[in-house]
Structure 1
């Protein structure tokens, strides 16, 4: 029997993260459901396992991306239990309710967004990189957005240019840069790094009136997480294909 690949999804107790976890488990991965609140992660994992009739293999792991001790504890747990990590999905992120235009945003709101969306993502990636290196063909997927595209936001005819969410846009633009720079670092190692834009989905973050479902939003991240050896690296993709920077 082939040993299951190990995947970690941060912020996976709800929304797109939970759906990514479900789809990876259905694809045969052992999925670690990362959650700041362990109880919520356990509930999400139990719900997904039960809904699938017990076939998928999902397990909760406590992980607060803004807490260095929590990040290291999660890395140690994965090392002790599995010895490697095949897939890292950096999904955990916030869109502050107080997010606003550049001329209006409170600097503290901006700091908080960067702490979670960028610093937290980098901290998790650094802590888990040694385990990713031990996998035969590891994949890293960072959740991004078309709102981080300078091309789209800079086009006055694009609806992306009308959104006044500077903290979210700026942090996800930084995520894109982290994606391409890490991909450059890891070329030739077998580790592929890309970013995924799920689109505006019906979640707490996207708004429940959004047209896309979490399942639709998760699909592109799962596709990038399961790329073949000749797949792209250092790119950001949406459902329709590669997005411009």
Structure 2
């Protein structure tokens, strides 16, 4: 089991980068694969690699490009043969970086990019990495005493309060709490429909995590 093998998708900055930092410092034997769209410009991630050259691998992966996801899965399979934890943290609010504030600002291109990044991307990640997750060693997450209920790996998909189904079930008068059209296509909206089927053939907990959630 040792430190486990982890892949963090969207690790160039923000939560993804901090996940990598925490895992590397907390688990000395962990092997962390950090992915991002442009490794050559991810200065903070490259600096982290300089501190942990033996434990951190940086791969190019754009979650909107299936070929890159497939290639990354092939690299992980060749080098590690398994995956114990997959964290999908890469996301985009909107191509403009601020979201739509009116119906007039909605565009098919903007919604397509957001949907491809936030919803389709994590699903395709699950498609290619599920075989490796099923070979995991159970290095992460709480394990039940009953071996029949123990899991091999954990898949985590990050979302946000604005993408919450429960928090945005009805229109809100407060513009700071209601989801914009792009935010409505968060992982929570579609992953809840498909992810159970991805895990049905083996014990594989799938978690939707909201960083700003009180729990």
Where on the TM-score scale, by shorter chain, does this alignment land: which range? 0.7 to 0.9
The Cα of 1:159 is off from its aligned counterpart by 6.2
Residue aligning to 1:122: 123
> Structure 1: any 5+ residue segments left out of the alignment?
200-237
Residue aligning to 2:99: 99
Residue aligning to 1:189: 202
Question: Considering only aligned residues, what root-mean-square deviation do their CA atoms show, in Å?
Answer: 2.6
**8 Å Cα contact 1:180-1:194 kept in structure 2:** no
Residue aligning to 1:37: 38
The Cα of 1:60 is off from its aligned counterpart by 0.5
The Cα of 1:4 is off from its aligned counterpart by 2.7
- What is the TM-score when the length of structure 1 is the normalising length? 0.70
Residue aligning to 1:170: 184
Q: Render the CA deviation track for 1:120-176: whole Å, top value 9, x for unaligned.
A: 11111111111011113211110101112243233647665455x220x2121x434
The Cα of 1:110 is off from its aligned counterpart by 0.7
- What is the TM-score when the length of structure 2 is the normalising length? 0.79
* 1:145 has 2:155 as partner: no
**CA 1:40–1:31: 2 relative to 1, 3 Å:** farther
What is the aligned counterpart of 1:83 among 60, 76, 81? 81
The 4+ residue runs of structure 1 with deviation greater than 6 A are none
SS at match of 1:66: coil
**8 Å Cα contact 2:86-2:156 kept in structure 1:** yes
The Cα of 1:190 is off from its aligned counterpart by 2.5
**8 Å Cα contact 2:87-2:157 kept in structure 1:** yes
**CA 1:180–1:24: 2 relative to 1, 3 Å:** farther
The Cα of 1:92 is off from its aligned counterpart by 1.2
* 1:133 has 2:134 as partner: yes
**CA 1:47–1:123: 2 relative to 1, 3 Å:** same
Distance in 1 (alpha carbons) for counterparts of 2:67 and 2:206: 25
**CA 1:128–1:107: 2 relative to 1, 3 Å:** same
Residue aligning to 2:10: 11
Q: How many residues align?
A: 195
